[in-house]
Amino acid sequence: MDDPVEAAYAQALKLLARREHGRAELAKKLARRGFAPADCAPALQRLADLGYLSDVRYAQARVAELRRRRYGPLRALAELRALGVDEDAIADAVQVDADDWYQACRAASGRGRTPPTSAAERARLQRQLMTRGFTAAQIRAALGQNDSDDA
C-alpha cells in the first residue's frame, strides 16, 4: 500500500478482528509495527467513527474477563488505567459496588469449602483477596463478617 494511513487502518483492522482493543493500546501496537503517530491518528479515528474501535466496549470486555477470572474492581481500575483507557469508559465499565463484584469475591474466597478456622487462616484469605483487587467491604461480605465483627 502506498498510503501509510490506509496501511495503518488495515493493520489496525486485522488486530481488531482478533479481539477488542483500547485506542491507546492499538496506537502502541501500530507504533511498534513502525507506523508514525501522524498516520495512526486518522486511521484510529476512522475505526472509531465506523464503530469498530470503542474504549467503552473494550473496558466492558476486559472487566468481564477479569471478573470471570475472579479478580476485583480495584484490579480492573488499575489495569484499565495502565492500558490508557479513557476515564469515562472506565467509570462506565467498573461499578465498584456492583453485586457482581461481591459474587466474584465470594467465588474467589472459595465459599462452599470449609470456612477458615483460625485467625491466621482468615487473615491469609483476606490478604489473598486484597491482592486480587477486592475492596474491604467485599471481603467482609465474602467471609461472612459484619462491620461490627472484631475477628
Count of domains for the chain = 2
Comparing CA positions, the residue from 91, 75, 64 lying closest to residue 133 is 75
Q: Can you give the residue range of the structural domain that contains 101?
A: 57-142
Q: What is the pLDDT of residue 149?
A: 43
- Return the minimum-mean-pLDDT range out of 25-34, 60-69, 83-92, 139-148: 139-148
* Coil/strand/helix, residue 84: coil
Residues 79-112 have pLDDT tens digits of 999 999 999 999 999 999 889 999 999 899 886 6
The model's confidence at residue 143, banded by pLDDT at 50, 70 and 90, is confident
Q: Which residues pair with 111 in a beta bridge?
A: 113
Burial of 52 (0-12, 13-18, 19+ CB in 10 A): middle
* Its pTM surpasses 0.75: yes
Same domain, yes or no: 118 and 66: yes
Confidence band of 117 (pLDDT split at 50, 70, 90): confident
Same domain, 44 and 79: no
